[in-house]
Structure 1
Amino acid sequence: MLSWEERRLMVKIAQLYYYEGWTQAKIAKKQNVSRPIISKLLNNAKKEGIVEIYIKDETLHSVELENAIMKKFDLKEVIVVSTAGFAPEMIKRQLGKSAASYIANHLTDVKSLGLSWGTTLLSFVEEYPYKYKKDTHIVPIIGGMGSEYVHLHSNQLVFHLSQKMNSSCSYLYAPAMVESIDLKERLVESKDISHVLEQARNVDMAVVGLGNPFKSSTMEKIGYLNQKDLASLRKAGAVGDISSRFYDAIGKELNHPLNDRVIGLDLNEIKQIPEVIGIVEGSYKLESLEAALQGKYFDVLIIDDRTAQELVESYI
């Protein structure tokens, strides 16, 4: 039980520190004691309930979601992007900005950066600042040839990002998905394509999106998937795709003919990259995301707050 004098001293010190903004050293000098004693008294004031600290800021809830997701899925970093009041197209843009900011600030030791493809990656590249990083080589981790929706293709994305960084890049001159396994095998054996795929396997960091093959699928939109393919994927238990590789509800890559026709890194190869950054937007991808997190394909997750909230409510 604290005496009246002890309690009064704690209140006085807490008032100077928290309200007046005095340093612990200044308070110690005034009280004629050492600074560690002031530190101990402030800690005791918290333990006794004399001082209670609240964080009053709209970003607090986002930080709480980040911590919950990070602990549950053992991630290096989670960034939850506040999207309240934003139109759908602006939500993707906000995620792109957050991803661009994170990556631009974490390229110090990154000599090679891998990019997948899709609308989320496009937002990231569009929002990336003109910030020179000449010693970072950019590599597509999946094929990207085609005459339609070229702006979404990996080759186009690596080209635009390399321009913004004033750096070099490689091109993977092959489609993301070809008509047959035989054609895929012949293409990946060619010198130019095998060389870029080997570069992709050895990048220091990769940025990928995530898809739900059965809802708002970019792969279906651009013609890589038809109704027969979708029926086959549903029967096989597919719940999502990363870099056009389909996986099941526990995050295991499917043994499926469509996966065998993709020219690019498979999910196990992506997992071996030292840092994989996943950008995910839309609660319709919730099941796809949870399976990807179980599969441990991401080290860093950048996600909108609504999807993050639903993830926490559903799985944590």
Structure 2
Amino acid sequence: MAPSRDTASLRAMTRVAHLYHRRGLVQTEIAAEMGLSQAGVSRLLTAAADRGIVRTIVVPPAGFHSDLEQAIEQRFGLREVHVVAAGALTGERLTEALARALVPVLQLTPIDRRSIGLTSWSRTLQSAVATLPDFPRATARRVVELLGDVGRPTLQHRAALTTERFAQATGGEPVFLRAPGVVATARMRDALLDGDPHARRALASMDDIDLVLTGIGDARATRPLVAGENFFTDDQFAAARAQGAVGEIGLRFLNIDGEPVASDLDELVLGMELAQLRRVPRRIAVAGGTGKHAAILAAARGRWIDVLVTDDGTARSLLDPVSLDTSERRI
């Protein structure tokens, strides 16, 4: 079910109030930060006072974790953190909760004339895009798939539909990467690109991305993806972990300190490189769950992302990462 308009409004009021009253930004600075007009910021501040969100301090509505979000923002230098009260949710229910939380974040993100990169095979992003209303008067430039096809043909088709739907919602041109996400050899990758101008265009478009929407992986094959199906094999994932990998973004591996884990596997991937990701002005990640704590910590430490949507358990682990550091460095 799509988040209500009131939920999105509450989120916007709380964010504006936080920036104005706690961080001390003036209205023009908030307008630039959130892609709003100054008049829009003023209306949200007035509405926040009317709803009781602002008194002498910012009082978030029930279910919001502003103090936890602010602590993570300050610890890792992130632009925004949005924490979902997930409790004991796991699996698909956690995926759906994260997707619902992502939708109002996307609705408040400036997209006009932006080129948007999308990891359309992420289940959470697929769920969010499926419930995302059209952006009014949307004028995005393009929506670029950031990784080639992975998994079975049915999963590849679902990813393509997600890209098409997001492009429709944002008014951008879809740029598909209809090529295997992982190939057997670097020579095969070169031969494939030599004969496919559309794949070359998609990869070239990644040099000019303004906004990235991505998941974060735990350096393992996660269902419904199966190792070896246009995807790394179990042995390849194990080799990456043996080199210190604890997570990945777009199948580019990171160690516990957020540093790239370089290997020959990089040459087998058709997708965005970490150097390209680093240059993107805004990088929104959505990920959560116990199995991804180390991966999300790595992404935050390395500042590969600047906006994070996650669950409350993961958020608390980011503020107390000692056990993760110790266990991952022993691997």
Deviation at 1:59, TM superposition (A): 3.7
Contact residue 221 and residue 227 of structure 2 kept, 8 A: no
Picking from 78, 84, 87, the partner of 1:84 is 87
Picking from 241, 245, 256, the partner of 1:238 is 245
- After TM superposition, the score normalised by the length of structure 1 is 0.75
Partners of 1:234 and 1:287 in 2: how far apart? 12
Deviation at 1:127, TM superposition (A): 2.6
Deviation at 1:68, TM superposition (A): 0.7
Partners of 1:120 and 1:56 in 2: how far apart? 25
Deviation string 1:192-229 (CA, Å, 9 cap, x unpaired) is: 22211121221210100001124746654573233322
Partners of 1:296 and 1:211 in 2: how far apart? 16
- AA aligned to 1:164 is A
| Structure 2 match to 1:226 | 233
Deviation at 1:148, TM superposition (A): 4.0
1:191 is aligned to 2:197: yes
Deviates further, 273-282 or 252-261: 252-261
1:264-283 correspondence to structure 2 within 5 Å: 264-283=271-290
1:131 is aligned to 2:135: yes
| Structure 2 match to 1:181 | 186
- AA aligned to 2:201 is H
Point out where structure 1 has 5 or more consecutive residues left out of the alignment: 1-51
Deviates further, 93-102 or 209-218: 209-218
Contact residue 118 and residue 209 of structure 1 kept, 8 A: yes
Query: Are the structure 2 counterparts of residues 222 and 209 from structure 1 closer, same or farther at C-alpha, using a change threshold of 3 Å?
Result: farther
| Structure 1 match to 2:329 | none
Partners of 2:61 and 2:143 in 1: how far apart? 38
1:142 is aligned to 2:165: no
Deviation string 1:70-89 (CA, Å, 9 cap, x unpaired) is: 00100111111122365642
Partners of 2:295 and 2:60 in 1: how far apart? 33
Query: Are the structure 2 counterparts of residues 313 and 247 from structure 1 closer, same or farther at C-alpha, using a change threshold of 3 Å?
Result: closer
Deviates further, 91-100 or 74-83: 91-100
1:69-80 correspondence to structure 2 within 5 Å: 69-80=72-83
Query: Are the structure 2 counterparts of residues 54 and 198 from structure 1 closer, same or farther at C-alpha, using a change threshold of 3 Å?
Result: closer
Deviation at 1:301, TM superposition (A): 0.7
Contact residue 183 and residue 269 of structure 2 kept, 8 A: yes
3-state SS in 2 of match to 1:301: strand
Point out where structure 2 has 5 or more consecutive residues left out of the alignment: 1-55, 324-331
Tell me the percent identity: 25
- After TM superposition, the score normalised by the length of structure 2 is 0.71
Contact residue 112 and residue 138 of structure 2 kept, 8 A: no
Larger radius of gyration: 1
| Structure 1 match to 2:19 | none
- AA aligned to 2:255 is D
Query: Are the structure 2 counterparts of residues 170 and 133 from structure 1 closer, same or farther at C-alpha, using a change threshold of 3 Å?
Result: farther
Contact residue 213 and residue 219 of structure 1 kept, 8 A: no
